[in-house]
Structure 1
Amino acid sequence: MEKSLEASRFRLGACYYPEQWPEEMWEEDLKRMKKMNFSIIRIAEFAWSVFEPREGEYRFELFDKVLDLAHQYGIEVILGTPTATPPAWLTAKYPEVLNVSQQRVSYQHGQRRHYNYNSPVYRELSAKITRKMAEHYKNHPAVVGWQIDNELNCEINVFYSEADHKAFREWLQKKYGNLERLNEAWGAVFWNQTYSDWEQVHLTRPTVSDSPNPHQALDEKRFISYSAISFAQLQADILRIAAPRHWVTTNGIFGHLDSHSLTESCLDFISYDSYPNFSTIYPDKGEEPLLDRKWSLNLSVARDISPNFCVMEQQSGPGGWVNKMEMPSPKPGQMRLWTYQSIAHGADMILFFRWRTAVFGTEIYWHGINDYHNEPNRRVMEAAGIGRELAEVGDRIVGTRYQADIAIIRDYDNEWDGELDKWHGQMQGKSVSAWFKALQYHHIPADVIYLRDQADCSHLNKYKVLVYPHPAILFDATAQVLKDYVRRGGTVIFGCRSGYKNKDGHCLRMRMPGYAAELCGITVEDFTLIGPNEQAPTVIMTAQAGTRELKGEAFNDILRVESAAAEVLAVYQDTYYAGKPALVRNKYGEGTAYYFGAAFELTAAASLIEELGIVSPIEGHMELPKPVELSIRKHPGTGESFIFLLNYSGHEQTVRFNTEFIDLLKNCKLHGDVKMEPYGVYVIQ
């Protein structure tokens, strides 16, 4: 069942913390929000001690006043369950709720997310505060929905308390049934790790050379995801019963968490927290970096979970804690650009983080729309402008769906296994980045799709091309799904290190790429890592447009053609395997499979795009420069479409419109050569 935000109108708002401000400021804040066309706020996700100052003593007066004022001014409210920050009385009385490092050091009160999901007393107290809040606010006219906790698995996504070790054993007992099967799955006979009693089994612990059992480490990540989902489910079940009129979501997509299963089990839709200026701290590597435009890839992941979703925290100012994560201020126009970036990729509700910058605490440099002085500034003016625009056009966009004919395939097992396994994990980010970059610069919209155990062909058939860069773990069932997709006329593209592991992370006793060999028409004859003091070999590709020179980055599979329907498109040069196949195309049924024996870089991805004849959907109608992103949203019922053009450059860009269009934001005609302003946005019907 699809879990998507169902809205009849676009909602714009902000995250608001009335407990941090004098009561006399609240009404003026809400008045100003209303004037800026804000219609929704999120509150209370860090306010447990306000609601429960002492165990069993519940107080609602502060937030009752805020909710009444919000309703008075026609502003809807999302309530956060406050379990991301347990109060001091709780951690002092029940220290077993604290998360613990792998080295057995307890994390103490003073930051956030310092609890563990499996502590029985923490689950009990979390359930109590959730139930009390839900029962108290279930009929309040301002409340429309709930956010469970805040950013599950953010800050830290590993857990090693005694409660976690115990719960891990119980989870393993349900999964494997007996120690014999566990020992087999973990390859425990290697290095004499065989277990003879369940009490010997733990989550990973410090080891020599910091190298735990890789199969244990993979199960650990699966267990952490299960634990987070179980904790969210505890709260969701309470909210469904106590406040059935309200929708339920949570915010953020973080590591060691299957956000698809989380949403299917607990939520009505996913919410994402979008901070594109993180690109100044963690820039994508390689040629022609995407910088803040890379957040479109992250938003595509949110869209795979919920085709229409909420951005619960949209960056509105410079960011940073007192001691880390320093980000510069958005340039004039960038906050608007990033807002429409989220909308272009499926957001039908957006809340800026935050209404006003905190004057105390760790986040005094994580700026909101308003500065400390609370007087007008350029960010307030920009946000007000966004509010005016969306008041005009937002409701027309709501419910439309992002359109793409190509998808990048990912999966949780390979992402988690690749964290420890550098022999395939290091290539995933590199290749996904190269492909997304190449598609962006060719103005070809793309989806991100997570393949899961129960995957079948139905949701893949709408795509002409699937890119699955390095699925080291590739189940027989998944390979069959991909065979069926290609047999019906689809195209799938693999990179090196594909198909050689099973679900436990064991290497298959088969020629690589394992269950994908028949589909690709090849086997791997030999392979090598490109060493730190070696140059990646040149790959010569013979394509329809002529000969191209690529690089065999990171790792090389040396291929052997096994199918009469397979054709060598590229060979390695300047190495001991010179002349051997590097890129093979195999006809399979009505479709085609490609296997590239290296990690993808920008030129390789771009060359395959041209080889496949993939062109932009606006080809012939407009000509876009590289810094401008193209996105298209279409109404599934009426067919009405909206084209989003987003200029990520700080300079004017010339866009040529061969067909006359209307920009809905400024209600002006677009035809011929048009100068697009720095960080400019066009929304075209």
Structure 2
Amino acid sequence: MNKSIQLDSLQLGVCYYPEQWSDSLWEDDFKRMKQMNLSHIRIGEFAWSVFEPQEGVYDFDLFDRVLDLAQQYELKVIMGTPTATPPAWLTHKYPEVLNVSIEGVTYQHGMRRHYNYSSPKYRELCANITRQMANHFKNHPAIIGWQIDNELNCEISEFYAEADHIAFREWVQHRYHTLEALNKAWGTVFWSQTYTDWEQVYLPRPTVSHSPNPHHVLDEKRFISDNTIAFARIQAEILREVAPHHWITTNGLFGHLDTHALTEEMLDFFSYDSYPQFSTISGNNEHKPLLDRKWSQNLSVVRNISNNFCIMEQQAGPGGWVNRMNMPAPRPGQLRLWTYQSVLHGADLVMYFRWRTATFGTEIYWHGLNDYHNQPNRRIAEATQVGEEFVSIGEKIAGTTYQANVAILKDYDNDWDGEYDIWHGPLTAKSINAWFKQLQYQHIPTDIIYLRHQTLEELQRYQLIIYPHAAIMSEQTAMLLTQYVEAGGTLIFGARTGYKDLNGQCRMAPMPGPVASLCGISVADFTSITGTIEAPGLLWKHNNKQIEQAAELFNDILHIQHDDVEVLATYTSCYYENAPALTKRSQGQGQVLYYGAAFNEAVVDELLSLLDISSPLVDWLELPEQVEVGIRQNEHADYVFLLNYSDQPASIHAKVPRTDILTGTTIDGATTIPAYGVMILQS
């Protein structure tokens, strides 16, 4: 069930830390926020030492005054539970709450997120502060909702304190019931790892060659997710009980956490922290990288959790801590561009991080809207423009939903298994990047959906589904995908599909396992493409076209099992020269394709051409590659977002007149979108 924020109009807000500033600044801050049409603030998520300066001693005076002032200026407040930053008195008195590395080193006080979710004492203390805050603030008219903790599993997403080992042992007992079942699931007869007593079971620990049991490692990730959700549930249940009139969310999208389950089980909607420059600061040697536009891939995942969501932290300036994450200043226009990037993908409430840049602490370089000097700057001017635009267009856009006919399919089991498995994990990142990039450059809106409890009807929304390298695949999933194809869908698989079961064990059956009969092929041979091995090219049978880029990373050599299978491309070299590399089979009203390698951009382009997949705007709008396209729709209208990520103007040509709702201008014929500019055309 997709849970969404419910707003009648787009809203703009900002994260605020009153405990870090003199109270003489507060009123001027709030007055300026209102002048900028900022309507929401988030507070409190790092202030445990203010709320509870000593164990059992609570002081809410500072935040009472902040809330009263916020109410005076008609600002709506999201209150954060402060459990991401336990105070020094807590970690000193109860060191068992601290997290521990896999090597057994305890992470000490002095940062944030240095606790473990399993500690009974930490859970008790978190419940106490949550209940005290809920009781104290439940009737304050300024508060509309709560954020649980902050960025669950950020900084670190693996936990090895003694309490974690105990909790994991209980988790596997609940999952498997008997040691026999556990040993079978983990294949412990291999290398004499068989467990004969539950007390022998731990989370993965350092091993020779740093190579723990892969099935053990997969279950570790499942445990971390369940344990994180159990930790969050403690706070959610208290807030539901004490303040049922407030909504509950949390922010994130971090590792080893089933965020879909988290949202379904306890949140009203999901929130995300959007920092597009994280896509630009690492080395990138690929041709024509998406850069900050690649962040739309993350936002597409968020949209799969909540169609309409909150951006709890929107990048507002140059970013980074004193010692890492060095992000340059956004160029003029980029702050506004990134805001609309979030809105395009489903955000109805956007909160800038942060109001004023911190003058002390780890984040003194993580800039907010205001600089240290607190004087007007260009970021304030851009946010002010966005605030004015939200007032103008907000009622039209809020509640509309993103429209896509193409989907990239993912799932948590393969995400987590692929972290450890070098024979299928690296393929996924490369292939999804190639697909998402080329779909972006060809202006084809795309959903990223996590396979969970989808019905056939839900999958039938999509003309094309790409499920690139699902090594783990259940028979139930195979049946659903077969039904999708037979009902008229087009489905594309990549190398290493379907050879593992849900325990991560390899099937004693021809690959691609449970979808072999659907595809009408088997994998006759295979090899990784590494070291001195040169990847072969592809010869496309439909036009004898040689693809310049190679069939990369891994090659499945395919064997045709049914006469109705069509070979679309063959390998051009190596001992399997001329062997099938890409096949297509019609099933029912649809078709399924299997590609025996990792997808690259050239292969994706060829497939899109072959399958006649094009932009929904192709008949009436001509656009250059530098512009991202997306459509938010309701029963009344389509709103076509055009986002120019380039430092150069983008020339476009509208074959039919459309109104840009940001300016009220009619676009007809040739026009330009400024560098880092935005248009929203109503149709």
Instruction: Give the shorter-chain TM-score range.
Output: over 0.9
- The answer to whether the aligner puts 1:634 opposite 2:662 as a matched pair is no
Any conservation in 2 of the 1:284–1:433 contact (CA below 8 Å)? Answer: no
Moved more, 515-524 or 543-552: 543-552
Which position in structure 2 is the counterpart of 1:171?
171
Q: 2:647 aligns with which of 630, 650, 663?
A: 650
Counterpart code for 1:578: E
Which position in structure 2 is the counterpart of 1:666?
663
Any conservation in 1 of the 2:2–2:304 contact (CA below 8 Å)? Answer: no
Any conservation in 1 of the 2:537–2:547 contact (CA below 8 Å)? Answer: no
Give the Cα–Cα distance (whole angstroms) in 1 for the partners of residues 471 and 25 of structure 2: 56
SS of alignment partner, residue 252 of structure 2: coil
Which position in structure 2 is the counterpart of 1:476?
475
Deviations 1:603-623 (A, max 9, x none): 111111111111111112110
SS of alignment partner, residue 23 of structure 1: coil
Compute the displacement of 1:548 (Å).
4.8
Compute the displacement of 1:641 (Å).
1.2
Give the Cα–Cα distance (whole angstroms) in 2 for the partners of residues 533 and 246 of structure 1: 60
Give the Cα–Cα distance (whole angstroms) in 1 for the partners of residues 83 and 462 of structure 2: 40
Compute the displacement of 1:10 (Å).
1.6
Give the Cα–Cα distance (whole angstroms) in 1 for the partners of residues 576 and 391 of structure 2: 62
Compute the displacement of 1:283 (Å).
5.4
Give the Cα–Cα distance (whole angstroms) in 2 for the partners of residues 127 and 457 of structure 1: 41
Any conservation in 2 of the 1:320–1:363 contact (CA below 8 Å)? Answer: yes
Any conservation in 1 of the 2:462–2:489 contact (CA below 8 Å)? Answer: yes
Any conservation in 2 of the 1:541–1:550 contact (CA below 8 Å)? Answer: no
- The answer to whether the aligner puts 1:241 opposite 2:241 as a matched pair is yes
Which position in structure 2 is the counterpart of 1:273?
273
- The answer to whether the aligner puts 1:52 opposite 2:49 as a matched pair is no
Query: Normalised by the size of structure 1, how large is the TM-score?
Result: 0.98
Give the Cα–Cα distance (whole angstroms) in 2 for the partners of residues 662 and 455 of structure 1: 37
Give the Cα–Cα distance (whole angstroms) in 2 for the partners of residues 639 and 419 of structure 1: 44
SS of alignment partner, residue 432 of structure 2: helix
SS of alignment partner, residue 367 of structure 1: coil
Query: Normalised by the size of structure 2, how large is the TM-score?
Result: 0.99
Give the Cα–Cα distance (whole angstroms) in 2 for the partners of residues 72 and 9 of structure 1: 22
Deviations 1:135-194 (A, max 9, x none): 111111100010000000000000000000000000000000011110110110111111
Any conservation in 1 of the 2:538–2:546 contact (CA below 8 Å)? Answer: no
Counterpart code for 2:456: C
The structure-2 alpha-carbon separation of the partners of 1:544 and 1:640, relative to structure 1 and needing over 3 Å to count, comes to farther
Any conservation in 1 of the 2:537–2:546 contact (CA below 8 Å)? Answer: no
SS of alignment partner, residue 510 of structure 1: coil
Moved more, 433-442 or 656-665: 656-665
SS of alignment partner, residue 639 of structure 2: strand
The structure-2 alpha-carbon separation of the partners of 1:326 and 1:497, relative to structure 1 and needing over 3 Å to count, comes to same
Structure 1 residue runs of 5 or longer lacking an equivalent are none
Counterpart code for 2:566: E
Any conservation in 2 of the 1:283–1:289 contact (CA below 8 Å)? Answer: no
Which position in structure 2 is the counterpart of 1:557?
556
Trace 1:168-207 onto structure 2 (pairs within 5 A): 168-207=168-207
Counterpart code for 1:529: S
Which position in structure 1 is the counterpart of 2:540?
541
Give the Cα–Cα distance (whole angstroms) in 2 for the partners of residues 531 and 253 of structure 1: 32
Which position in structure 2 is the counterpart of 1:99?
99
- The answer to whether the aligner puts 1:63 opposite 2:63 as a matched pair is yes
Trace 1:87-486 onto structure 2 (pairs within 5 A): 87-282=87-282, 286-452=286-452, 454-486=453-485
Compute the displacement of 1:644 (Å).
0.1
Any conservation in 2 of the 1:542–1:548 contact (CA below 8 Å)? Answer: no
Which position in structure 2 is the counterpart of 1:493?
492
Deviations 1:92-116 (A, max 9, x none): 0000000000011110100000000
Give the Cα–Cα distance (whole angstroms) in 2 for the partners of residues 186 and 574 of structure 1: 39
Which position in structure 1 is the counterpart of 2:612?
613
Any conservation in 2 of the 1:491–1:592 contact (CA below 8 Å)? Answer: yes
Give the Cα–Cα distance (whole angstroms) in 2 for the partners of residues 343 and 682 of structure 1: 12
Any conservation in 1 of the 2:659–2:665 contact (CA below 8 Å)? Answer: yes
Compute the displacement of 1:455 (Å).
3.6
Any conservation in 2 of the 1:541–1:549 contact (CA below 8 Å)? Answer: no
Any conservation in 2 of the 1:79–1:145 contact (CA below 8 Å)? Answer: yes
Any conservation in 2 of the 1:284–1:290 contact (CA below 8 Å)? Answer: no
Any conservation in 2 of the 1:405–1:446 contact (CA below 8 Å)? Answer: yes
Compute the displacement of 1:281 (Å).
1.6
Structure 2 residue runs of 5 or longer lacking an equivalent are none
Deviations 1:70-99 (A, max 9, x none): 110011000000000000000000000000
Any conservation in 2 of the 1:455–1:478 contact (CA below 8 Å)? Answer: no
Give the Cα–Cα distance (whole angstroms) in 1 for the partners of residues 351 and 427 of structure 2: 35
Which position in structure 2 is the counterpart of 1:507?
506
Deviations 1:339-371 (A, max 9, x none): 000000000000000000000000000000000
Any conservation in 1 of the 2:270–2:309 contact (CA below 8 Å)? Answer: yes
Any conservation in 2 of the 1:657–1:670 contact (CA below 8 Å)? Answer: yes
SS of alignment partner, residue 456 of structure 2: coil
Compute the displacement of 1:456 (Å).
3.1
The structure-2 alpha-carbon separation of the partners of 1:146 and 1:544, relative to structure 1 and needing over 3 Å to count, comes to farther
Deviations 1:357-399 (A, max 9, x none): 0000000000000000000011111111111111100121000
Give the Cα–Cα distance (whole angstroms) in 2 for the partners of residues 290 and 560 of structure 1: 36
Compute the displacement of 1:544 (Å).
6.3
Give the Cα–Cα distance (whole angstroms) in 2 for the partners of residues 99 and 285 of structure 1: 36
Give the Cα–Cα distance (whole angstroms) in 2 for the partners of residues 396 and 308 of structure 1: 14
Give the Cα–Cα distance (whole angstroms) in 1 for the partners of residues 10 and 659 of structure 2: 21
Any conservation in 2 of the 1:283–1:291 contact (CA below 8 Å)? Answer: no
Compute the displacement of 1:458 (Å).
2.6
Compute the displacement of 1:266 (Å).
1.2
Which position in structure 1 is the counterpart of 2:575?
576
Give the Cα–Cα distance (whole angstroms) in 2 for the partners of residues 445 and 544 of structure 1: 28
Moved more, 546-555 or 373-382: 546-555
Give the Cα–Cα distance (whole angstroms) in 2 for the partners of residues 553 and 358 of structure 1: 46
Deviations 1:3-40 (A, max 9, x none): 11111122101000000000000010000000000000
Which position in structure 2 is the counterpart of 1:592?
591
Compute the displacement of 1:258 (Å).
0.2
Counterpart code for 1:629: E
Give the Cα–Cα distance (whole angstroms) in 2 for the partners of residues 388 and 200 of structure 1: 62
Moved more, 283-292 or 374-383: 283-292
Give the Cα–Cα distance (whole angstroms) in 1 for the partners of residues 283 and 443 of structure 2: 21
Deviations 1:271-312 (A, max 9, x none): 010000112223555321000000100000000000111100
Compute the displacement of 1:515 (Å).
0.3
Compute the displacement of 1:318 (Å).
0.3
Give the Cα–Cα distance (whole angstroms) in 2 for the partners of residues 466 and 639 of structure 1: 28
Counterpart code for 1:386: V
Q: Percent identity?
A: 59
SS of alignment partner, residue 24 of structure 2: helix
Which position in structure 1 is the counterpart of 2:22?
22
Compute the displacement of 1:657 (Å).
1.1
Compute the displacement of 1:564 (Å).
1.9
Compute the displacement of 1:547 (Å).
6.0
Give the Cα–Cα distance (whole angstroms) in 2 for the partners of residues 392 and 303 of structure 1: 24
Give the Cα–Cα distance (whole angstroms) in 1 for the partners of residues 91 and 71 of structure 2: 35
The structure-2 alpha-carbon separation of the partners of 1:564 and 1:199, relative to structure 1 and needing over 3 Å to count, comes to same
